A and B are shown apart, each in its own frame.
Chain A
Amino acid sequence: MLNTLSLKSILISGAVALTIAGQAHAYEPARSAECIAPANPGGGWDFTCRSVGRVLVDQGYFKGNVQTVNMTGAGGGVAYAHTISKRDKDDNLIVAASTATTTRLAQGQFPGMDSKQVKWIGTLGADYGIIAVGKDSKYTNLTQLLDALKSDPTSVKFAGGSASGGWDHLKVLMTAQKANVGDLPKVRYLAFSGGSEALVQVVGGHVDAFTGDISEVKGFMDSGDLRVLAVLSEERLPEPFAAIPTAMEQGVDSVAPNWRGFYMPGNSSAESYDWWVKTMDELYKTEEWKDIMVKNGVMPFHKSGEEFTQFVNNQILDIQILSKDIGLIK
């Protein structure tokens, strides 16, 4: 009697211990999660948070909701600092990021912070870079434009929607560098406060060429006012962009995806990180997400976990080297 009782208690306590151990291994997401969009409503990061949040809830990953919190400032720097200093152990927080985040990290524009202080979860798509000219331009392909730059780096002036040294500027420089254009600092770049303002200047014939993302140019491409010389992707994009040649086809090995993805706090548990990585992998394959991508012009581009972290670090390194080459940073 006594024996059976103790045996029972041992079994029970063992079972309890097992469950506790089991819980420690398999991270259970909370009822709700939070997604910080480091910009105002309406922009790319806001879109990333809201659309992914909706799919996460629709697909039953969260019973409650995934709340989008807009935290503007310093091109994502405020949200980055907030994540590191105040939310470092939060398992239920993700933050939207893109190439703009890595560019600023690379150029030291988040003072005192680096990419190792957060965990990079993955990307769910990308917007590919393009180089375009107005319909009356004398350039009909990328080679002609790059040849003009080779003979005189100031001969073609570019307009883009990011600040000097930002992603739109870097895309031009990366492409020019791959094509062996000398004297990169002399390449003229006009920074506008948005892609659309830059585009109007090119279509209006005031600036020679436009550097931006494929999602920005559809309207003027359809109206025939804009000639896209090259898309900076590995392969041609799906319809309606399939007619645009890649830079690689034209002999320039330049690929510039502006990825959309997430990072999470640096000291969140390893289990929660694994869960988020796995969840993003699954989410990327859902019909709902594919549908969102098509509707919003987001192109296929998926990396996650270790591979993504490696990609982010490489991109930062590449941008640092390029920025030093052209004298943007010391």
Chain B
Amino acid sequence: MDTMSLLMQGFAIALTPESIMFAIIGAILGTLIGALPGLGPANGVAILIPLAFSLGLSATSSLILLTSVYAGAMYGGRISSILLNIPGDEPAMMTCLDGYPMAVKGKAAEALAISAIASFIGSFIATIGLVILAPILAKFALRFGPSEYFALFALAFATLGGITGKNQFKTLMAAAIGLMIATVGIDISTGVQRFTFGTLELFEGVDFIIAIVGLFAISELLFFLERHAGDGLKQVAVNKLKLTAKDIIEVLPASFRGAVLGFVAGVLPGAGASLGSFMSYTLEKRFSDKGEFGKGDPRGVAAPEAGNNGAASGALVPMLTLGVPGSGTTAVLLAMLISLNISPGPMLFQQNPDLVWGVIAAMFVGNFVLLLLNIPMVGIFVKLLSIPPKYLMPIVTLIASVGIYSVSHSALDLYFMVGFGVLGYILRKVDIPLVPIILGMLLGPEMESSLRHALVLSDGDWTVLFNSGLSIGLWTVALLGLILPIIVGPLVRAKMARAKAAKKDD
């Protein structure tokens, strides 16, 4: 089979010492970042992009490093959920429900081990899904003309908030900020300068890597300063691991179901990892008639972990094949790809097969590394959790600044980075999400040129936007994506809140 031989070539790349090294580094850093409460995968990848730049890594190595960080962060999120009852990132929230009670019962080590195995299964199955689905979708993507792309971008924006999103208005506002920033620079359709004020540095627009590092990493630093969070956190002690084969076999069905559900949620725009883990958990609870869900049932740990790791790999499918990210972290990865002069989309599979398949193979390798790291060596990460952030944050700042400067050798970029940091801080204070800003900046110019191209091709006829079945379908989903959260959102959120409240009552 064609895909198999390409994947084998990918393994040839992924199994070079260099690639393995970056997969291991990424896995360790990712797990650590994921474990630290507050630092999610998007922040983690954003913080490490400058590192990839300052080390001058090749495109393949950078991507292997960052996808490993991504996967690692999904693994790491569970550590603080289980030990501290604070989710390391949003998708790990559901893991708190049964993970922390297990830890309280003196089964912290078992909870960590089971969740690591479930994470492994989730990632593994979803990566297989990626291998099967991505090339098919890449071929299908050729059917996308400018008007279909325009509808697809509209869909991406409409579903930004996700089903679980709180405030559609704030999400749209954030997207609008991103779109506004995206208009700066030379307009490629006419060659006219927009909002550049004769400043050479602005001719190519505002670099989204700078915006990402500023908005995520620098604002995080400001929050740390504000909280005076100098000390480590208290946690439940980890017992000695006593895990039998029977325990593992018991959680396997839950993990498989969670993985498949998570993958589907990841591929679909707007759904994302949080919904993936939520759905897996609820399904598992309903599926098994008896059990102690909410009181420390191992299946309640396995299902959401498999779900959120599955969703993480699933979200890579639309990013790689269509160039439209399905989640915040994949948006950050997309920005990285574009900065490396690699355009995602159907051509990626044609032009850079080494890169795509190398990275996919590296995801398999990274997954094994993560399993090894997270079962025998989980104790190290638990220790690292108690490192006071006052030592970590200055390192983050240093890496961010050096990395940004090494990209362009321009001091102006550093001012921009700090400016975005302050902006990010203010926006987070008023609960405006940051990911839509990045998506606005990334997709804005593409969306604009798609619209203009569609109109040039049709000689100015607007009906071209709705003249294929594909585009009508996309518009319908976009409309649903915008309306559904307003109707279904409160219901789902209430359910999530009830689940959380029920657990607190115990």
Contact = CB atoms under 8 A, between A and B. Distances in A.
B324 to A, nearest CB: 13
A28 to B, nearest CB: 27
A193 B53 CA distance: 22
A188 B454 CA distance: 12
Interface in A145-170: 154, 157, 162-166
B407 interface: yes
B190 A164 contact: yes
A200 B201 CA distance: 30
Contacts of A42: 59, 340-342
Contacts of B376: none
Contacts of B339: 40
Contact of A164 (B141, B191, B408): B191
Interface string B324-356: 000000000000000111110111001100000
B340 A163 contact: no
Interface string B196-207: 001011011001
A78 B410 contact: yes
Given A43-B341, A77-B200, A191 B188 contact: yes
A132 to B, nearest CB: 15
A240 interface: no
Contact of A71 (B345, B409, B445, B459): B409
B500 interface: no
Interface string A184-201: 000010111110110111
Contacts of B186: 75, 109, 163
B490 interface: no
A138 B210 CA distance: 46
Interface in B40-59: 53, 56, 59
A206 B406 CA distance: 39
Contacts of A190: 146, 189, 449, 453, 456-457
Given A203-B142, A219-B351, A193 B457 contact: no
A207 B191 contact: no
Given A41-B56, A204-B143, A207-B457, A74 B407 contact: no
B368 interface: no
B145 interface: yes
A182 interface: no
A75 B59 contact: no
Contact of B203 (A73, A162, A220): A73
A8 B319 CA distance: 79
A299 B184 CA distance: 36
B204 A200 contact: no
Contacts of B297: none
A179 interface: no
A233 B343 CA distance: 27
Nearest to A154: B459
Interface in A70-105: 70-75, 77-78, 81
SS class, residues of chain A in contact with chain B: loop
Contact of B410 (A73, A191, A194, A206): A73
B355 to A, nearest CB: 11
Nearest to A82: B409
A205 B198 CA distance: 39
A223 B346 CA distance: 14
A70 to B, nearest CB: 7
Contact of A206 (B200, B449, B457): B457
B449 A73 contact: no
Contacts of A39: 341
A60 interface: no
A40 B340 contact: yes
B224 interface: no
Interface string B66-94: 00000000000000000000000000000
Interface in B172-204: 186-191, 198, 200-201, 203-204
Contacts of A163: 186-189, 191
Contacts of B53: 41
B190 A196 contact: no
Nearest to A159: B453
Contact of B144 (A43, A199, A204, A220): A204
A47 B278 CA distance: 46
Most buried by B among A71, A197, A199: A197
A260 to B, nearest CB: 15
A24 to B, nearest CB: 32
A41 to B, nearest CB: 6
B341 A193 contact: no
B408 A70 contact: yes
Contacts of A191: 188-189, 449
A106 to B, nearest CB: 12
Given A200-B142, A204-B144, A206-B457, A193 B188 contact: yes
A43 to B, nearest CB: 4
B471 to A, nearest CB: 12
A111 interface: yes
Given A77-B203, A191-B449, A196-B351, A164 B188 contact: yes
A7 B205 CA distance: 70
B409 A69 contact: yes
A30 interface: no
Given A75-B204, A163-B188, A196 B449 contact: no
Contacts of A206: 145-146, 457
A81 B203 CA distance: 13
Contacts of B201: 73-74, 78
A87 to B, nearest CB: 12
A16 interface: no
Contact of A196 (B59, B142, B207, B347): B347
Nearest to B339: A40
A75 B200 CA distance: 9
A235 to B, nearest CB: 27
A201 B145 contact: yes
B245 to A, nearest CB: 48
A148 B344 CA distance: 34
A193 B343 contact: yes
Contacts of B449: 190-193
B281 to A, nearest CB: 40
A78 B199 CA distance: 10
Given A72-B407, A190-B456, A111 B340 contact: no
Interface in B393-449: 406-410, 445-446, 449
B203 A74 contact: yes
Contacts of A110: 200
Contacts of A10: none
A193 B347 contact: no
Nearest to B141: A200
A219 B347 CA distance: 9
B347 A200 contact: yes
A197 B204 CA distance: 18
Q: Lowest 10 A-B CB distances belong to which pairs?
A: A206-B145, A74-B203, A42-B341, A196-B347, A163-B188, A204-B142, A165-B191, A191-B188, A74-B200, A43-B341
Interface of A: 39-43, 46, 69-75, 77-78, 81, 107, 109-111, 154, 157, 162-166, 188, 190-194, 196-197, 199-201, 203-207, 219-220, 223, 328
11 contacts: A40-B339, A81-B200, A110-B200, A164-B190, A190-B453, A193-B188, A193-B445, A193-B449, A201-B145, A206-B146, A207-B453
Given A71-B409, A109-B186, A166-B191, 4 more contacts: A41-B341, A42-B342, A194-B341, A219-B351
